[in-house]
Chains A and B, each alone.
Chain A
Amino acid sequence: MNALAPLAAVQGCDERPVLRERGQREVFCGLTGIMWLHRKIQDAFFLIVGSRTCAHLMQSAAGVMIFAEPRFATAIIEEKDLAGLADANAELDAVVARLLARRPEIRLLFLVGSCPSEVIKLDLSRAAQRLSQRFTPQVRVLNYSGSGIETTFTQGEDACLAALVPTLAERPSGAARQLLVAGVLADAVEDQFRRLFAAMGIAEIGFLPARRAGAMPEIGPDTLYLLAQPFLTETARALERRGATRLPAPFPLGIEGTTAWLRAAAEAFAICPARFEAAITPGRERARRALDHSRGSLAGRRVFFFPDSQLEIPIARFLSREMGMELVEVGTPYLHRDHLAADLAMLPAGIQLSEGQDVDRQLGRCIAAAPDLTVCGLGLANPLEALGLTTKWAIELVFTPIQGFEQAGDLAELFARPLIRRAALEV
């Protein structure tokens, strides 16, 4: 499993054909990113400026989470706000003042743009500046857009983190080189990676976002960053504007991805190979044993991915190379060739890649191909099951810890379970 070295040559120039489609897209908007972002940054509040539809989406997506005093809410635009923009700003200020008075523990407030607020051109970045001045130093107010017209599902996290990057403190000049890991990871996964990097001997390490607003990492020209998630286009751009340098790597899914991802950091920090191997061997061996449980269910089975989160390509790479699955079509809402170069290069030749969506056409292809397993959203899953296809609903992949060695077995099992269930049911 030393696939990375020979692949470095083809990074960034994978020219395999991609089917680009436009039409109806059956995807979430970026607002849904708030579901996991607000759990991660424990003293941040996400205020959506939008319509009743936005609030309804959030409660439909949040399920029962909505009752646990969540740190998000919607300021619903009403008829009177549409009459004149000046009013809308005053209304927003009043809503924010009321909110912050009720939640004094909040240190970071995101004003999150939606389709309605973008279309009426409500200037939330100016509102954020204005409110930041008013509530400084207790609360910093930032803004980003999670609208459906601009963002698809996980791109909401990208927009949020990109808004955060300009506020990171500058690393003092002459400070030691720092490793920064960008992208929300479950706390347990973050802690595992922290321990692995420490065991390798990388001392200076930051995670973006941090768990608290006051503990965000520093950044500077000596920062090397690893993307933990494949959907961070804008965040990467913002990090580079601050002088940081990206370490190209496949994403840390499965044994191969995790090993190569960790190795990218180890090589950049000139960690000796023996120490690297010593640090990762126990985890990698455990992952090997864990993957064996699911291989029998997955090997040789054909899988079809509808676009959802941009995780499709690295997961397809894992399923094909480590679990022996056959890829029928791998759809992604948006393909960043550069960030995904290493993963793309590891995909088998001749598979169908697609970017964007025309859902009815794609459904036609899926049904015609009759895959053993279809990865899709909850709007499509039951209708496909009713047609006799076995599905794995994709949203779980962003809510469940799947990165790193200790989660590799869980990741495989997410795909094995629907197949095992289909085989078990006799009615």
Chain B
Amino acid sequence: MHLTVWTYEGPPHIGAMRVATAMRDVHYVLHAPQGDTYADLLFTMIERRGERPPVTYTTFQARDLGGDTADLFQRAAHEAFERFKPAAMLVGASCTGELIQDDPAGLARALGLPIPVIPLELPSYQRKENWGAAETFYQLVRHLASPHAPKPGAPRPPRPAGRPASCNILGPTALGFRHRDDVRAVTELLDELGVVINVVAPWQAAAADLARLGEADFNVVLYPEIAGQAAQWLKRQFGQPMVATVPIGVGATRDFIVEVARLAEVDASLALADSASRLPWYSRSVDSTYLTRKRVFIFGDATHAIAAGRIASEELGFTVVGLGSYSRERARDMREAAARYGLEALITDDYLEVEAACAALQPELVLGTQMERHIAKRLGIPCAVISAPVHVQDFPARYSPQMGFEGANVIFDSWVHPLMMGLEEHLLGMFRDDFEFHDGAGASHLGHGATTPPAAPVPEAAAAAPAADRPILLSWAAEAELELKKIPFFVRGKARRNTETFAGERGINPITVETLYDAKAHFGR
């Protein structure tokens, strides 16, 4: 048994729901107990969908367990077919359904429905959401595209001269972090290169579209966690090469363009010269100088975390001090990526481990999921969200892709913004004792008469760090403590840690203002 409060990923049937909900005419019949319908609200509330997800649950109860749950499943499947008239049906079980061993595959087959019925085996006690999405997409692709596959070993016929190259975009799902806008951003890139898009899947695809996947010349895999397995299969069956570069960041987008241009046999120079990305200039402008070597901690799914590492170090001039992911399936890729920054990748799905790593490193910026946002808040460190799981505010109304040149603009703004806020907050804190800024003075935008109750003291980063990290015998002279408070709160934790390490190593006690500055000189910055 594994004790947890927070999980980065849901169970695998949630992944299957994400694929089914992304598509247009696929229905999922899920053998699940009453209560598992909670998952609907992820789609209707977090993603704000205006339709219910295309999922029928058997919602069996204790009184059904006597032996007619199989009948219940068949009835649910039959009624779902009659009511929704899907073009293909997925059938499977959630974690409890798996335990009662009713065999949805066999039961559905016995119904003899006149549509493809695709059974899903999703081992809930071993695997998780992204695996479930990948497996579901793979099974859909395999069942629906197989009949159109050429004979094994038959060479792929060359593309007729004069016909533009075409590709599929694979991987975007419902409840994906910025999938909606990434599809648009990548579509625009491909349009610019003159590449025709054959099918986007599973996002808004029909079952019939999946049958046509083999007609494209190559595949663009946007999210390897979800589409990697299906793309491998398409490569084997149809000889379709795949674009493996994920175009998140200016550099990665340029690499992506070069790779697509090579496969499509088109000229990339126009697309590469695209000035849509303001990131390079913004990053060079002198205002960004203060970003240099900011220490950044990155955690998320493998695709986004790896991409964020590259942007942070190559495009914003940060120093990556921690890199990790909850995607165990891609642990090897993560370790390779981390090694580029001289780091050991943190592969875990335990948020307490992530919190401990973050607290120990005292970065100046955290890039992560919803969870890291809360960890960073507790530690008083600025943070931006780069990966699922995310909450409702990260399904924004405005266009905000992560991919392509516009994605790079969005990333620049969303990562730099919390740092600016941190700086602003520090300035306000510094001037707190100033007559215009004392606690009793209201915010200026509320007018002169307004007063607010004294604010609670700003929680210090160091106070939230585990006490065990600090040598017990060290004490701070009052004057040194005051001096420490003049340091911006978002780097104060690091300063405290460095100073105490410095003092501890040299046997200095108590810590004075001198020690503080000696340590500063020793460590730099």
Contacts and interface: CB of A to CB of B under 8 A. Distances in A.
Interface stretch (B41-49, B200-208, B243-251): B41-49
Interface string A349-386: 00000000000100000000000000001111111011
A74 B4 contact: yes
B10 interface: yes
Contacts of A81: 1, 125
Contact of A148 (B36, B99, B100): B36
B7 A52 contact: yes
B35 A148 contact: yes
Contact of B42 (A27, A60, A116): A60
Given A27-B37, A379-B44, A383-B44, A51 B124 contact: yes
B112 interface: no
B5 A74 contact: yes
A92 B126 CA distance: 18
A234 interface: no
B6 A66 contact: yes
A386 B51 contact: yes
Nearest to B83: A360
The interface residues of chain B, by DSSP majority, are classed as mixed
A86 interface: no
B35 A115 contact: yes
Contacts of A106: none
A426 interface: no
B4 A119 contact: no
A120 B99 contact: yes
B57 A24 contact: yes
A72 B62 CA distance: 25
The residue in B1, B52, B125, B374 that gathers the most chain A C-beta atoms within 10 A of its C-beta is B1
B271 interface: no
B34 A383 contact: no
A378 B41 contact: yes
B37 A379 contact: yes
Contact of B4 (A55, A63, A385): A55
Contacts of A91: 1
Interface in A241-297: none
A406 to B, nearest CB: 25
Contacts of A386: 50-51
Contact of B1 (A30, A95, A120, A152): A95
A52 to B, nearest CB: 4
Interface in B1-37: 1-7, 9-11, 13-14, 33-37
A66 B39 CA distance: 17
Nearest to A153: B35
B35 A31 contact: yes
A56 B1 contact: no
A17 to B, nearest CB: 23
B354 to A, nearest CB: 13
B237 interface: no
B45 A382 contact: yes
A45 B382 CA distance: 32
A35 B428 CA distance: 37
A4 interface: no
The residue in A53, A99, A150 that gathers the most chain B C-beta atoms within 10 A of its C-beta is A53
A118 B62 contact: yes
Interface in B333-348: none
A81 B36 CA distance: 22
Interface in B34-79: 34-42, 44-45, 48-52, 56-62, 64-65, 76, 79
Interface residues of A, number: 63
A147 B125 contact: no
A88 to B, nearest CB: 7
Contacts of B484: none
Contacts of B52: 379-380, 383
Interface string A211-228: 000000000000000000
A369 B10 CA distance: 37
Contacts of A166: none
Contact of B5 (A24, A70, A78): A70
A59 B8 CA distance: 10
Nearest to B58: A24
B4 A73 contact: yes
A385 B48 CA distance: 11
B475 to A, nearest CB: 27
A56 B34 contact: no
B343 to A, nearest CB: 26
B1 A77 contact: yes
Contact of A52 (B10, B40, B44, B48): B10
Contacts of B95: 51-53, 115-116
B254 interface: no
Contacts of A147: 33, 35, 62
B496 interface: no
A196 interface: no
Interface string B111-128: 000000000000111101
B7 A383 contact: no
Given A24-B56, A25-B37, A149 B1 contact: no
B10 A116 contact: no
A271 to B, nearest CB: 42
B62 A52 contact: no
B96 interface: yes
A56 B33 contact: no
Contacts of A381: 44
Contact of A115 (B1, B6, B49, B96): B96
B35 A29 contact: yes
B94 interface: yes
Given A115-B96, A378-B45, A57 B124 contact: no
Given A66-B5, A82-B125, A91-B1, A119 B35 contact: no
Contacts of A25: 34, 37, 59
Contacts of A70: 5
The residue in A25, A95, A360 that gathers the most chain B C-beta atoms within 10 A of its C-beta is A25
A45 to B, nearest CB: 11
B1 A383 contact: no
Contacts of A79: 123, 125-126
A262 to B, nearest CB: 35
B121 to A, nearest CB: 14
Contacts of A67: 6, 374, 378
A318 interface: no
A361 to B, nearest CB: 10
A56 B11 contact: yes
B75 to A, nearest CB: 9
Contacts of A78: 1-2, 125-126
A129 to B, nearest CB: 19
Contacts of B5: 55, 58-59, 66, 70, 72-74
Nearest to B371: A67
Nearest to B100: A119
Contacts of B58: 24
A156 B44 CA distance: 24
Contacts of B34: 25, 27, 29, 148-149, 152
Interface in B401-433: none
A239 B128 CA distance: 43
The residue in B14, B33, B51, B126 that gathers the most chain A C-beta atoms within 10 A of its C-beta is B33
A24 B59 contact: yes
B36 A98 contact: no
Nearest to A120: B99
Interface string B209-237: 00000000000000000000000000000
Nearest 9 A/B pairs, CB to CB: A148-B35, A29-B35, A386-B50, A379-B40, A115-B96, A51-B95, A378-B41, A56-B10, A148-B34
Given A66-B5, A91-B1, 9 more contacts: A72-B5, A76-B1, A76-B2, A78-B1, A78-B126, A79-B125, A115-B35, A119-B99, A377-B41
6 contacts: A51-B11, A51-B95, A53-B94, A53-B95, A73-B3, A116-B99
